[in-house]
């Protein structure tokens, strides 16, 4: 019994000693009560934020624009010459190929004029052949005559010289000598006249009038041939004949708009875009379109996009050029142009609640290390709680989505646990 009490007393003494030691240690660690607040004041409290990785998400369905199917070219078919409509080969609505005859004018009067010109041409040619022969003969006769005169003058000069000697000897009279001199002078005058005539024939084109007549006849024949060719009025392009306001027997003046052909291959898809829509397609070389009620989507080359807004329609004209060999696309149809594709809908987005607005500007905070960077962003399309970001951040960065409204640029933060 005494042994038990002694053990209990010994155990209690140990416990009291342990408690006293613990109290002393706690007192030494904490110091005085005023020391704790001073230590906390030396270390600023970091703001706690939450972050989310910036990703690309689908912002919506592709943006579409209604458009019209129109012919790529509308050509007025004008008859170049006047005449009576003799035959019509096509009717309105028919397909025509380039160079195919649409209608003919009566060529009778033109053929008569051509025959007259041909007769005149043939007659003038025959006259010119004979005139050239006559001219050649005349020149030859003059040359022969000149040769004979030159010989006669030489002979007469010899005789005249001999007669002068005889006159000096008294063998001939003065009258005879004078007659010989007169004959010599006359021969020289005849030679000069013949040479002048020959020179005139050689230098003067006596056939000029005939040659002019011949040229005129040739021109008339060429004009007749051209007119006869224009009597067949042909399609300038391949397409559909949409206008043909003529009947057989009508007299058409030259320059009459007798038909219209609309080219269907290639064909055009035309749309009127707002400024925002024009921005979406500017710089693109091709766009996708489809005809409502069909599932086929086709690519079309962007052939035109206006740089300046139309003052009348207050829009930007967009035109696509599309091959249409099978003629499936026809003027008057409606089409839907995809201003954006499926992949254009996958864009960098942020939650709308993460955006901080200051005046007219928009910002987000991105975590860079242990700092919050303030970024000015350009926002785009909105889809429920997500907002497209056009510029300012990029995919993969850490976006601060909680606590951002109380932050400053480059402020150190800590992540929420």
Q: pTM of whole model > 0.85?
A: no
Domain finish residue from 161, 196, 222: 222
| Secondary structure of residue 9 in the 3-state scheme | helix
Question: Position of tokens 């704790």?
Answer: 36
Give the strand pairing for 371-376 and 361-368. antiparallel
Question: Position of tokens 């140990």?
Answer: 14
Same domain, 296 and 375: no
Same domain, 379 and 276: no
Locate the DSSP E strands across 90-169.
95-96, 101-105
What DSSP line would sit under 243-290, residue for residue? Answer: E----TTPEEPTTEEEEEEEEEEEEEEEEEE-HHHHHHHTT-SEEEEE
In this prediction, residue 192 carries a pLDDT of 94
385: domain CATH number is 2.40.420.20
In this prediction, residue 28 carries a pLDDT of 42
Same domain, 348 and 370: yes
In this prediction, residue 61 carries a pLDDT of 82
Domain finish residue from 340, 371, 390: 340
Same domain, 263 and 362: no
- Distance between CA atoms of 374 and 379, rounded to whole angstroms? 15
Same domain, 93 and 178: no
The answer to whether position 25 is within a domain reads no
| Secondary structure of residue 335 in the 3-state scheme | strand
In this prediction, residue 43 carries a pLDDT of 59
Same domain, 183 and 207: yes
303: domain CATH number is 2.40.30.170
Same domain, 353 and 409: yes
The answer to whether position 3 is within a domain reads no
- Distance between CA atoms of 411 and 210, rounded to whole angstroms? 107
How far is CA 12 from its chain centroid? 107
The answer to whether position 100 is within a domain reads yes
The residue segments making up the domain with residue 398 are 50-60+344-415
> Cα separations (Å) of 179 from 172, 188, 193, 253, 330?
11, 14, 21, 81, 106
In this prediction, residue 109 carries a pLDDT of 93
Q: What is the mean pLDDT of each run of 10 residues along the chain (417 residues)?
A: 38 39 39 46 77 90 92 92 95 92 96 94 91 90 94 94 90 90 94 91 83 92 94 92 94 95 92 93 94 91 94 93 90 93 87 93 94 93 90 94 92 89
In this prediction, residue 268 carries a pLDDT of 95
Same domain, 349 and 367: yes
Same domain, 310 and 253: yes
The answer to whether position 325 is within a domain reads yes
Same domain, 246 and 313: yes
The answer to whether position 136 is within a domain reads yes
How many domains does the chain fold into?
Answer: 3
What DSSP line would sit under 295-315, residue for residue? Answer: --EEEEEEEEE-SS--TTTSS
In this prediction, residue 33 carries a pLDDT of 45
In this prediction, residue 42 carries a pLDDT of 53
């Amino acid at each position: 019994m005494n042994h038990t009490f002694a053990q209990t007393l010994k155990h209690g003494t140990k416990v009291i000693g342990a408690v006293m030691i613990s109290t002393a240690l706690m007192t030494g660690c904490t110091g005085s009560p005023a020391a704790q607040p001073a230590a906390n004041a030396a270390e600023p409290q970091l703001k706690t934020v939450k972050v989310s990785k910036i990703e690309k998400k689908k912002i919506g369905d592709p943006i579409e624009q209604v458009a019209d199917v129109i012919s790529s070219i509308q050509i007025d078919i004008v008859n170049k010459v006047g005449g009576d409509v003799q035959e019509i080969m096509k009717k309105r609505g028919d397909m025509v190929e380039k160079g195919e005859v649409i209608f003919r004018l009566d060529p009778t009067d033109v053929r008569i004029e051509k025959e007259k010109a041909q007769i005149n041409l043939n007659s003038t040619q025959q006259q010119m052949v004979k005139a050239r022969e006559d001219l050649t003969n005349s020149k030859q006769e003059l040359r022969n005559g000149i040769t004979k005169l030159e010989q006669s003058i030489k002979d007469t000069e010899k005789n005249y010289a001999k007669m002068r000697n005889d006159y000096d000897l008294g063998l001939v009279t003065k009258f005879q000598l004078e007659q010989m001199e007169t004959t010599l002078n006359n021969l020289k005058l005849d030679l000069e006249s013949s040479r002048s005539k020959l020179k005139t024939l050689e230098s003067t084109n006596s056939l000029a009038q005939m040659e002019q007549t011949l040229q005129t006849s040739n021109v008339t024949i060429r004009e007749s041939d051209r007119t006869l060719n224009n009597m067949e009025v042909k399609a300038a392009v391949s397409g559909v004949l949409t206008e043909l306001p003529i009947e057989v027997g009508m007299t058409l003046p030259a320059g009459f708009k007798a038909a219209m052909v609309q080219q269907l291959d290639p064909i055009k898809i035309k749309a009127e875009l707002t400024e925002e829509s024009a921005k979406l397609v500017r710089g693109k070389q091709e766009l996708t379109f489809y005809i409502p009620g069909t599932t086929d989507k086709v690519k079309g080359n962007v052939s035109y996009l206006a740089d300046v807004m139309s003052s009348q329609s207050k829009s930007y004209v967009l035109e696509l050029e599309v091959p249409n060999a099978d003629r499936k696309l026809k003027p008057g149809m409606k089409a839907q142009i995809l201003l954006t594709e499926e992949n254009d809908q996958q864009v960098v987005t942020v939650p709308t609640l993460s955006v901080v607005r200051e005046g007219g500007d928009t910002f987000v905070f991105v975590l860079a290390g242990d700092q919050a960077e303030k970024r000015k962003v350009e926002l785009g399309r909105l889809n429920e709680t997500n907002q497209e970001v056009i510029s300012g951040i990029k995919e993969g960065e850490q976006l601060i989505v909680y606590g951002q409204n109380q932050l400053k640029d480059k402020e150190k933060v800590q992540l929420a646990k």
